[in-house]
A and B are shown apart, each in its own frame.
Chain A
């Protein structure tokens, strides 16, 4: 059994994949906690789909893939935030509209560029293909995002539980909302290599949803979410290495299994 777990570590690409899995798992769980509690679960879904035009442009022009995806998702996040600020445009309308437009732009670019290159790794993830440069970018995004979460933890908590009160004591809630969207966009970019644009949202939402079933304490919920996300991400690495399965799909289904287990535990309590 131990050899089953340790043998893959002889390969440098597995070491990188495991490092990426752990970092992306922790990042997604920590940020995902605020995403779930602010009822923004669909935003991650929206932002991950918004990465498509960035990915296509990067393919066609030879830019850095994740950098281009970051620009596209951040742009989408800012647009969603900007539109949702107008009370006449509901937040969910903005979330439903912008990513569809971005996805359509991506498809248009694919057809206009007549590119037949395989985009499946970007759409569905390939954690075993994480390069040293990808890992550096993932680490950078995780470091900055987690530092921001730690620094603004108290204000983010208040933004989730009582945004009006936050506003009356002078907390710049719009700026915080934009900040949360910005870091969510960056987290989606970090998750693209592991689970792909289509499936990243599951890593943001499902481990947190599972933890929410087991605890009603925020700190415990974050720790449990991190453990679940890392476990699922590692399961994806091993499933991909030993069975040749899609890492993104394996990670998401592992998350779903954990959620199912948590649901059963809650029901049998």
Chain B
């Protein structure tokens, strides 16, 4: 019997609900009175590929953190596949720009990618052979199968990014929140990651990718969400949606 990490035992997605629905979201960091995000309203349909556009400090990473449960909401609601935040842990994966991973920790690449399967094992159970197979397949998709046995402390920046995306694939999430995954990686890695992202989109998964620049002709995206100074704006930079908490 699997003892899930959350009490909801991982609800299945509601087929009619959007992949992500955010209503009147305000969120901020502890110790800071001013919210980092204010009055965010958005709805991303299942299978869409959306760019989250904004300059540094616009609130892109903060929005991802709020949606993935790393940052408590001050007000508003976040629903993922029709369920409240925290009911669909295995279906959402957040790939941060600057991960808090301890790259000196003494484990191999395969072991790190296998942590993407922990959400399915839950408490007390170890990951099995099937999990290992899926982790190796994910690494192969990123052209990183040869890294499986290598210690994570021996990876370059580009290899680290490949391994983290492989873990996201191993988790088999349906909503991927990617924080500038093509930033600060070499051309080969960028090409491989772009191919993998195309494949993910073809599988019908929903991808929201944070980026500084957005070209409306870019076929990778079905649309864009714009953020500026923690608020939602239109593509021309004017404010969108309504702000503030109904229940501060």
Contact = CB atoms under 8 A, between A and B. Distances in A.
Interface of A: 37, 86-88, 151-152, 154-155, 157-158, 160-165, 167-172, 212, 215-218, 221
Given A162-B101, A163-B100, A168 B6 contact: no
Interface of B: 4-6, 29-31, 68-70, 86, 89-90, 92-94, 96, 99-102, 105-108, 112, 115, 118-119, 121, 123-124, 126-127, 151-153, 167, 171
A170 B99 contact: no
Contacts of A86: 30-31
Contacts of A162: 99-102, 112, 115
A208 to B, nearest CB: 11
A171 B5 contact: yes
B102 A168 contact: no
A37 B69 CA distance: 25
B32 to A, nearest CB: 9
Contacts, number: 84
B119 A170 contact: yes
A160 B105 contact: yes
A154 B122 CA distance: 10
Contacts of A157: 107, 115
Contacts of B6: 170
A165 B115 contact: yes
Given A87-B30, A162-B112, A170-B4, 4 more contacts: A151-B124, A167-B70, A168-B69, A169-B90
Contacts of B107: 157, 161, 217-218
B181 to A, nearest CB: 15
22 contacts: A87-B29, A151-B124, A158-B118, A161-B112, A161-B152, A162-B101, A162-B102, A163-B100, A164-B70, A164-B99, A164-B100, A165-B101, A168-B68, A169-B90, A170-B69, A170-B86, A170-B89, A171-B118, A172-B5, A215-B106, A216-B153, A217-B106
Given A86-B30, A154-B118, A169 B106 contact: no
A218 B115 CA distance: 15
Nearest to B122: A170
Ranked nearest first, the 9 interchain pairs of A and B with the lowest CB-CB distance are A170-B5, A88-B31, A170-B6, A170-B89, A169-B119, A87-B30, A161-B105, A216-B106, A168-B68
A217 B150 CA distance: 11
Nearest to A171: B5
A52 B144 CA distance: 53
A157 B153 CA distance: 15
A38 to B, nearest CB: 8
B102 A37 contact: yes
B92, B105, B106, B126 pick with most chain A CB within 10 angstroms: B106
Contacts of A165: 101, 115, 167
A218 B101 contact: no
Nearest to A220: B106
A37 B124 CA distance: 21
Contacts of A215: 106
Contacts of A218: 105-107
Nearest to B171: A169
B198 to A, nearest CB: 24
B153 A161 contact: no
A220 B88 CA distance: 36
Contacts of B102: 37, 160-162
Nearest to B68: A168
A158 B89 CA distance: 16
B216 to A, nearest CB: 31
Contact of A37 (B105, B112, B152): B105
B92 to A, nearest CB: 7
A170 B4 CA distance: 9
B153 to A, nearest CB: 7
A88 B30 contact: yes
Given A216-B153, A217-B106, A161 B115 contact: yes
A37, A161, A165 pick with most chain B CB within 10 angstroms: A165
B106 to A, nearest CB: 5
Contacts of B96: 164
Contacts of B92: 168
A167 B30 contact: no
A161 B163 CA distance: 14
Nearest to A86: B30
A172 B99 CA distance: 19
A94 B101 CA distance: 23
Contacts of B30: 86-88
Nearest to B31: A88
Nearest to A88: B31
B31 A154 contact: no
Nearest to A164: B100
A185 B31 CA distance: 29
